[in-house]
Structure 1
Amino acid sequence: MNPHPAYPAPAAAFSLSAPVRLWEDGFAADPHAYYAALRAQGPVGWAELAPGVPAYVVTDRRAALDLLHDSDTWSHDPRPWEATVASDSPVLGMMRWRPNALFADGDAHIRYRRTLLDAFDLVEPHDLRERVHRAVDILVGRFGPAGRADLVTEFARPLMALVFNNLFGLPDSESGRLNDSLGQMMEGGEQAARGEAEYGRYVLELVAAKSAQRGDDLTSRLLDHPAGLTPEEVTWQVFLTLGAGHEPTANLVSNALSRILGNPAYYSTLTSGSRPVADAVAEVLRYETPLSNYGIHFARESLSFHGVWIQAAVPVVVSYGAIGHFAEHQFAGAHHPHDASHLSWSAGNHGCPVKQHTLLIATEAIERLTQWLPDLDPTTERGRLTWRPGPFHRSLTALPVRFTPRTPDQPGERA
């Protein structure tokens, strides 16, 4: 059986002369129609990320690689663009300039990136695995006895809040703030500014606590790094890394679980051990990537790029989702888990610096969950699941399941 479910035919009509509006509710329900409309414009399409906020969107893999590997032509600094955008634009939470690795070029980017690499290099795989197992055990202990759960709101999202909250040095009691504020910021719309403000308060309080008393955590390592980051720079590094770790990884887990559970034959090969969970995670990264439109660049000066005139100070977004959707239909049914053709980690000198940590978190979370609850049964067909709005992510609103009730002290296969 093909583990890739058929997607509905495009339901929306688009004009080649008008921007494709990625902020519409229809995009979350059927992104593939929107990607088809963008691809019809060529390797680079014209879209809106929010009402009145235009952007070029790269939907061709070759064009994306040309962009991602050319730091001379393209910059990550959005400040010239910011000057043209309303101060209450809902996408500013994800796009405004901050002094961190994502929005820096040249030597500043190298300096910031090195601090992240060095801090995460001290997180041993066995230690990270134990943190994930602990978080899974806490959550299954909460919903296991009920025999029912929503694997998005009760598992994937709070799991990442527990793991990353712990890695950066705050107690479990603070994880709910992290979870809620990031969710609001990612979705855009009216709640984006509230989410950004609350997330900012969370990070400021975290850095203040670690400045007063160090611990064995990522925040303390950034504060003490030989690069000599200022407290403000540490704050913005944490702001970036917590958000980039929590939200996409939660979506990676829930998207992978939806694919696994949506196909009984596929699920049985995973639970029996004949097919590793890493295969399901790789398929999501390839075909249904959790951060579907990002990799935002700006031309240093106006230029022609793959047949399109690109204006400076207008965002150029890499659509990892469109590239993956095209690949899924081009290679439907092919099983190539070791193929590295997807771009979910981005590429070039801004490629994800901690992808191995992310993969470990996602695979261990799913494996531990299925050890606890080996008979997970979805109560909603995959084609009827709903998705959160927003131009940047591919994120389920819910993944309801049922299973044999399980209490934390009940014996079983968990190891």
Structure 2
Amino acid sequence: MTETEDRAAAAGCPAGQATPLHDRAFADDPDGVYARLREQGPLATVELAHGVPATLVLDHETALSVLRDPETFPKDSRHWQQHAPADSPVLPMMMYRDNVLFQDGPEHHRLRGAITDSLERVDAFTLRRYVTESAEELIRGFAPSGRADLLNDYARTLPLLVLTRLFGSPPETTTRMVAAITALWDGVDIEQANADLGSCISEVIALRRDHPASDVTTRLLEHEADLGHEEMIQQLVVLMGAGAEPMQNLIANALRLWLSDDRFAGDLSGGRLPVEDAIEEVLWKQPPLANYAITYPVREVELAGRVLPAHQPVVIGIAAANTDPALNTSRRDGNRAHLAWSAGAHTCPARGTAHLIASVAIETILDRLPDMDLAVPVEQLQWRAGPFHRALTALPVHFPPVPELDRDEAESGGGDQWSTRPARTRWTRQVATSTPRRSTSAGRGLRRGLSYLGEWLRGR
């Protein structure tokens, strides 16, 4: 028997049927793996990490039936956790926490109400300003060089800057917090990362108790749900976690699609913006969380003709369900029936906020650097291995260098200034030292500028 088969047999899975989702083969070709798994039917036995078997739901209809039945498929992972490998890299993403993600019923309703109410009070115009200003600050840092890694220099850092302002967290604390979250996603030094994350969030809570402000943390503290200290920590853990890793992957994956597919250099026809099309296609085909929305049935349960063992994780194959061949492809055109935000009682409460952040982040950099191109063929981009995320390791680009703005001159009104308004000449000017572009670049840049202008005129 192979090593994988040995692990599968030890875990009580049929030999040879536990397909690993944590290896290089899955990262390089998830669609091919999903296609092979579909030969088992709507459900497949997979391995999330060494010694961690699970059932992966592959079709859209079955996924919805699980997500909409929390009594049969609850979120509480404590029983599973007692028997899980203590050093498993997936434990941070599956271990029970006293937050909205792992609760069902009245307690979930109470916690979700606090989160939803606090997020709904975030003004869209204020959020747009936060994202635009943060994006422009990052672009200023690499624009003169003519080269950047849009994942590590932009998409990874931008959510950090926005979260700092949304949650009232000091920048240094947020930097440590996001480092801890990234370590948890990657399963690196789990115990220390958990401790660092809890310490950072406690600092933010203490700061906002003493100095209330107009931010999400203060609103959670003041909410009628009367969250205790540990509850506050754990709600912020899930909000920060969802606002960091998945957010950066949504931005980076959409930029990858935009820069590698000429369909997304289009115009405003049909009343939809090309950037919105790119985001929606990513949410359908390469969602930031490819496999998640994990549940843990408390007893043996029959699903799609199979009997699932009690307490073994049932994982929604979000990307697989979205690309289910049985799903009418016409449903993907102009609608948002994908499962990237999950479904049922646990539908992401911050989906509107996340979508706005991604849209503004992408539009801003495309407007500022309209002649940007991938620095390597798209086939050479590498994906991070892991069972849950769809995440690039880097997104290198090049573009005509943009001279650094003289801040003293700008402040005195003598030069081009940064603004939240579109179509600044500084960012559409062709620089004499720039590398010649292919013949389509000028029209492509113009269309990108028009897409940003169209969104701005619509007040979006």
Please give the TM-score of this superposition, normalised by the length of structure 1: 0.90
Match of 1:239 in 2: 237
Distance 1:229 1:280, change over 3 A: same
Give, in angstroms, the shift of residue 191 of structure 1.
4.2
Match of 1:205 in 2: 203
Alignment of 1:332-351 (within 5 A): 336-351=332-347
Match of 2:124 in 1: 125
Match of 1:111 in 2: 110
Give, in angstroms, the shift of residue 268 of structure 1.
5.1
Alignment of 1:158-197 (within 5 A): 158-188=157-187, 190-197=188-195
For 1:194 and 1:389, how far apart are their aligned partners in 2? Answer: 22
Match of 1:312 in 2: 310
* Conserved 8 A contact 2:55-2:315: yes
* Conserved 8 A contact 1:204-1:235: yes
* Conserved 8 A contact 2:255-2:362: yes
Give, in angstroms, the shift of residue 23 of structure 1.
1.4
Q: Any idea what SS the aligned residue of 1:149 has?
A: strand
Q: Which amino acid aligns with 2:364?
A: R
* Conserved 8 A contact 2:264-2:277: no
For 1:169 and 1:391, how far apart are their aligned partners in 2? Answer: 32
In the alignment, is residue 223 of structure 1 matched against residue 235 of structure 2? Answer: no
Q: Any idea what SS the aligned residue of 2:157 has?
A: helix
Provide the identity percentage. 38
Distance 1:335 1:42, change over 3 A: closer
Gaps of 5+ in 1: 1-13
Q: Any idea what SS the aligned residue of 1:74 has?
A: coil
Distance 1:275 1:225, change over 3 A: closer
Q: Does 381-390 or 167-176 show the bigger shift?
A: 167-176
What's the CA shift string for 1:301-349, capped at 9, x where partnerless?
A: 1111111111111110001021234459974xx7954222311111111
For 1:194 and 1:35, how far apart are their aligned partners in 2? Answer: 34
Match of 1:368 in 2: 364
Q: Does 122-131 or 381-390 show the bigger shift?
A: 381-390
For 1:86 and 1:265, how far apart are their aligned partners in 2? Answer: 46
What's the CA shift string for 1:80-104, capped at 9, x where partnerless?
A: 1111112222111111111111000
Match of 1:3 in 2: none
Q: Does 169-178 or 65-74 show the bigger shift?
A: 169-178
For 2:201 and 2:26, how far apart are their aligned partners in 1? Answer: 31
Match of 1:295 in 2: 293
* Conserved 8 A contact 1:35-1:322: yes
Q: Any idea what SS the aligned residue of 1:295 has?
A: strand
Please give the TM-score of this superposition, normalised by the length of structure 2: 0.81
Match of 1:26 in 2: 25
What's the CA shift string for 1:348-404, capped at 9, x where partnerless?
A: 111111211111110011011111111111111212110112111000111100112
Q: Which amino acid aligns with 1:254?
A: A
For 2:265 and 2:217, how far apart are their aligned partners in 1? Answer: 38
* Conserved 8 A contact 2:51-2:85: no
Q: Any idea what SS the aligned residue of 2:55 has?
A: strand
Larger Rg: 2
* Conserved 8 A contact 1:287-1:327: no
Distance 1:30 1:197, change over 3 A: farther
Give, in angstroms, the shift of residue 412 of structure 1.
3.6
Give, in angstroms, the shift of residue 41 of structure 1.
1.3
For 1:249 and 1:259, how far apart are their aligned partners in 2? Answer: 16
In the alignment, is residue 65 of structure 1 matched against residue 64 of structure 2? Answer: yes
Match of 1:251 in 2: 249
Q: Any idea what SS the aligned residue of 1:139 has?
A: helix
* Conserved 8 A contact 1:291-1:393: yes
Q: Does 112-121 or 34-43 show the bigger shift?
A: 34-43
Q: Which amino acid aligns with 1:363?
A: S
Which of residues 385, 388, 409 in structure 2 aligns to 1:389?
Answer: 385
Distance 1:337 1:193, change over 3 A: farther
What's the CA shift string for 1:131-179, capped at 9, x where partnerless?
A: 1001101101111111100000000010011111221111333443233
Q: Which amino acid aligns with 1:338?
A: G
Structural RMSD (CA): 2.5
Give, in angstroms, the shift of residue 72 of structure 1.
2.0
Match of 1:402 in 2: 398
Q: How many residues align?
A: 399
Q: Which has the higher contact order (CA 8 A, sep 6+)?
A: 1
Q: Any idea what SS the aligned residue of 1:45 has?
A: strand
Q: Does 307-316 or 166-175 show the bigger shift?
A: 166-175
Gaps of 5+ in 2: 1-7, 9-13, 411-415, 417-425, 429-448, 454-460
In the alignment, is residue 357 of structure 1 matched against residue 353 of structure 2? Answer: yes
